[in-house]
Amino acid sequence: MAQSDTVDRILDAAEVLFAERGFSETSLRMITSKAKVNLAAVNYHFGSKNALIQAVFSRFLSPFSVMFEKELNNREQNAVSPPDVEELLRIMTTTIVSLPTRNRHGLTIFMRLLGLAYTQSQGHLRRYLETEYSRVFRRFMRLIKEATPELSNIDRFWRIQFMLGSVAFTMSSSDALSDILKNEIGVETTTVDIVNRLVPFLAAGITAPAGEQHLVVNENNKAVVRSDRDSGSRPS
């Protein structure tokens, strides 16, 4: 078996098992069994489980970051005005769905992994992603900031997190959501259809004005809704 074929087998098995079971619950023995390679192959090609996890993410993020930066360059070189939030999100999501994957579930699997990276304790992965892909993502965040000067840094931070969560959930569940839509409404849908509906929703959420009502906990430790008009100012 060629080395490249062995590496692909290990990565294919790892990404499926990580997406199904999580990082901690997936052992190297499970991965090598599914990949039909011996246990020593993982250590030989990757060195450790952490390095294997990082390689699984790199297989998607490396081509994504190259393509995404190229699209941002094209936009900045051929436009007379800076992009707004919806256009930036359109560039990002178009890049995501344009990437070639090894099978029809490749995007769904990666989005599940992305969600797990947020919910499971994988400090090494976060450090790795920040080191390897910081340039393009910092550029994207800078463009988002320039497109939303009216937002405070705190509001912008949370809205970006809500955006990432919405993208990860929707795209990782796209097969299930498509089945629900077909069964309940009788309508077929595609990944592109989903993205076309998702982007305006995300853009509206990021750019929405601050609400006038806020959930607070009163002196009796009860959650209540209060209006800015009641308190005279918006909670920080």
pLDDT given for residue 83 in this prediction? 93
Q: What is the pLDDT of residue 236?
A: 46
On whether both 28 and 83 belong to a single domain, the answer is no
Domain count for the chain: 2
Q: What pLDDT does residue 228 have?
A: 63
The model carries a pTM of: 0.83
Residue 28, domain member (yes or no): yes
More confident residue, 152 or 220: 152
Q: What range does the domain containing 174 cover?
A: 59-231
CA dihedral (96, 125, 154, 236) positive or negative: positive
75 lies in the same domain as 129? yes
- pLDDT for res 230: 58
Residue 204 identity: A
Instruction: Phi first, then psi: give them for residue 131, nearest 5 degrees.
Output: -75, -45
Residues 23 and 115 in one domain: no
- Positive or negative: CA dihedral 225, 230, 234, 236: negative
Residues 64 and 5 in one domain: no
The pLDDT tens digits of the residues spanning 31-65 come to: 999 999 999 999 999 999 999 999 999 999 999 99
Q: State the Cα–Cα distance between residues 101 and 60, nearest whole angstrom.
A: 8
pLDDT value of residue 121: 67
Identify whether 54 is part of a domain: no
Q: What is the pLDDT of residues 72-110, one digit of tens each?
A: 999 989 888 999 999 999 999 999 988 887 777 788 888
Confirm whether 53 is domain-assigned: no
Instruction: Give the C-alpha separation, 206 to 84, whole Å.
Output: 11
Other beta carbons less than 10 A from residue 177's beta carbon? 15
232 pLDDT more than 60: no
The mean pLDDT of 177-194, rounded to a whole number, is 93
**Residues 194, 105 share a domain:** yes
Q: Based on the domain organization, do 180 and 104 belong to the same domain?
A: yes
Asked if residue 216 and residue 106 are part of one domain, the reply reads yes
What does the alpha-carbon distance between residue 121 and residue 14 come to, in Å, rounded to a whole number? 18
| Nearest-angstrom CA–CA distance, 24 and 230 | 48
Q: How much of the chain, in percent, has pLDDT values that exceed 90?
A: 63
Q: Is 36 domain-assigned?
A: yes
Q: Are residues 34 and 95 in the same domain?
A: no
Residue type, 218: N
Q: What is the CATH number of the domain that holds 41?
A: 1.10.10.60
| Secondary structure in 3-state letters for the chain | CCHHHHHHHHHHHHHHHHHHHCCCCCCHHHHHHHHCCCCHHHHHHCCCHHHHHHHHHHHHHHHHHHHHHHHHHHHHHCCCCCCCHHHHHHHHHHHHHHCCCCCCCHHHHHHHHHHHHHHCCCHHHHHHHHHHCHHHHHHHHHHHHHHCCCCCHHHHHHHHHHHHHHHHHHHHCHHHHHHHHHHHHCCCCCHHHHHHHHHHHHHHHHHCCCCCEEEEECCCCCEEEEEHHHHCCCCC
Phi, psi of 79 (to 5 degrees): -125, 155
Mean pLDDT of 219-226: 77
Same domain (yes/no): 93, 165: yes
For residue 137, is pLDDT > 70? Answer: yes
